[in-house]
Structure 1
Amino acid sequence: MSERAPALVIGAGPAGLMAAEALSAAGHAVIVAEAMPTPARKFLMAGKSGLNLTREEPAPAFAARIAGGAAPRPVPGRPPGYLRTEDLRAIVEGFGPAAMRSWAEGLGIALFTGSTGRVFPVGMKASPLLRAWLRRLSAQGVELRTRWRWTGIDGAAMVFSTSEGSRRISAAATVLALGGASWPRLGSDAAWVPLLADAGVGIAPFRPANMGLLVNWSPLMARQFGAAVKGTRLRAGPLESRGEWVITAQGAEGGGIYEIAAALRDGAGATIDLLPNLDSAALAARLARPRGRLSLGNWLRRVLGDPVKVALLLEWGQPLPAGPAALAARIKGLPLRHEAVAGLDRAISSAGGIRLDSLTPDLALWALPSLHAAGEMLDWEAPTGGYLLTACLATGRHAGLAAARQLGQAAAAVR
């Protein structure tokens, strides 16, 4: 069976729903096709531990945390003009933290800002926001079809596998928002890659992003499994984090780790400052005081003030230097030793996807001009802490607005 539609969005995650909102707000009828039984499953899973919507930060500084993907390649015969990292950052800056807050509050969601600048719903859950969002989209005429899996392109039609057999939709404008390659059980399985690659779209290999670390802990660390590490500074390459993280049986997880994970994945070494609020000289003076009859562990606990930090120092800092200055340097530059980063199946997000040089600044595909793409399908990455989610919504909005302009121009040409 075949049908025609003004606008089609494939994928009902945050980027897809935002594209549908932009299209429908411009007056266009929109069909949203989603492969899973319910929309926004990854969004809901992320919100189970507190939905971090965005971060209270100036828009330019916020957008600077977006990293573009592979360097552009010249394409013979293609007109100039492709999506650059600075274009991607401008898209995010155009729908930055203030706009994100206004949008969520417009759905009736009360927000608060935590001590680190992270913005959360007062209820700390994703489900109320999603329900309000879906109600708004329905009121704007958006039709959501679940269990519709995109399987290919047949001329001008998008082909879907559904519970009622194969279906085709021919749309004047289509936005793809199918996610990346992390958390495949929630729908982001990258099954779309061969469909676009066969059509001539450049695809950068997927890599894990915002992932934990795999560590072969010594048996003595077992008592620390589940412990939160607070009040440290982590550095890896150009990246730095003051966020909290957690010691697990497999290694290390949490926002503090995720903020530097990209540099670790790409081969950078990492260090931990266990006492970032105390300078080296003051720490060395503290370490120079007589230890008395205190055991090494008790003495270090008195100095560091936290048994978890002591455990990390004894795990990764051996052999401990003898002099106060050298020991202070070790405490403030403890090597973060790990065997590997977690793989795509355990990563929160992914890097890789549609190459930026395969896209126009409007997020249209050079190889398939009637199609736009958004969200984690694109070859970019951002840390958690509000950056990732805001950027997904920003790209979805940008693609939806561009598709709406395309529809408007086509209607004007007919008139």
Structure 2
Amino acid sequence: MPPVETPTRVRRHLPTAHAEELLARTRELIREEVLPQAAAGEAAGDFPRETFRRLSAAGLLGLPYPAEHGGGGQPYEVYLQVLEELAAARLTVGLGVSVHTLSCHALADFGTAGQRAAHLPAMLRGGLLGAYCLSEPAAGSDAAAMRTRATREGGHWVLTGTKAWITHGPVADFLTVFARTGAAGPRGISAFLVPADAPGLSVAAPERKMGMNGSPTAQLHFEGVRVPDERRLGEENGGFRIAMAALDAGRLGIAACAIGVAQAALDVAVAHTTRPDAGGERLADQQGLRFMLADMATRIEAGRTLYLAAARLRDAGLPFSREAAMAKLFCTDAVMRVTGDAVQLMGQEGWDASLPAERYLREAKVLQIVEGTNQIQRSVIARHLLGREQSAERPAQPRVPAGAVPEAVPGPRAS
């Protein structure tokens, strides 16, 4: 198992002394709680619920949310670097924190003051764990095609349908659920905050997966689940916008997790290739292998720079959807390449299931799929490039003839 800090790790540039202290405490918790059980826990498929309780008590389950409701009040730039460290130690934990953060987003950003005061403190620091329920068996990448329906009955909504591939489905305490409340398409969807023990809600057997065995994923069945209207989040039929806003932020979480796993893979590859053999020779002394390590490190640093740049846009209140898609795309493609190269560099030891490199490779694949597949990210990026994502606040830039460089034309702006 790689150490938390190695010579290959980049020095963090955190905005405040408090943020540096937070990262130091995170690394201490990782050494004490996460690393010792990571390999055995994944092999046995054990969900580390006690670890999440400790993370909650330490304030790490609500870092980017306001302190007044129990959050950490940290910028996304800091939160994502904490997430990267957790994912490097165990992706089940890092991705779990990202999913929990995603599940709190609708309430934190779109709930009323009364809703936030009533529910957010327990969600952020009360030991609870959330799940985000958007995907369905026939509505994955096309979330607007969802069939789960919520029908109003007096002061309640009655939810009927099935959600699929829900991380934390069998272990969550609360769910952010999107259901159809109006006509077909994106404008007929609403968001709800649903307790996981609501009558009529059942959980299917966990899915069998190629990686992240410690993180349970399952279908959730809603059979006449009654939800009070005061648990509807945001405007009626305005849920699709809420879901997409959450995914923009969530994609940055996935990007940070990807870089964490890639960094862990590079760490074990460096440790392996710099270990001298009986004759004192090192694999890292071979130029071809040194070049592979250099390429791995460069991809990691490029991905880290990309997700942090997008986070700073978000922290500044600027549009960041395009940059989030770019970060998710690049970082998750990078982790697939880096983990594959780590296994290749380590030879038979890379293939050995008792060592972590092969686990990193298996875990990396899901990161290209969750929070919108990388094909969806390319579609998002292309829409921004071709002008289909222009907003009222951002008029399209004027077209300039080839070779003309007028001073009045602004440079590229965030989408």
Using the size of structure 2 for normalisation, the TM-score is 0.23
More helix by share: 2
Determine which structure has more spread, i.e. the larger CA radius of gyration.
1
Using the size of structure 1 for normalisation, the TM-score is 0.23
- Give the structure, 1 or 2, with the largest relative contact order (CA under 8 Å, sep 6 or more): 1
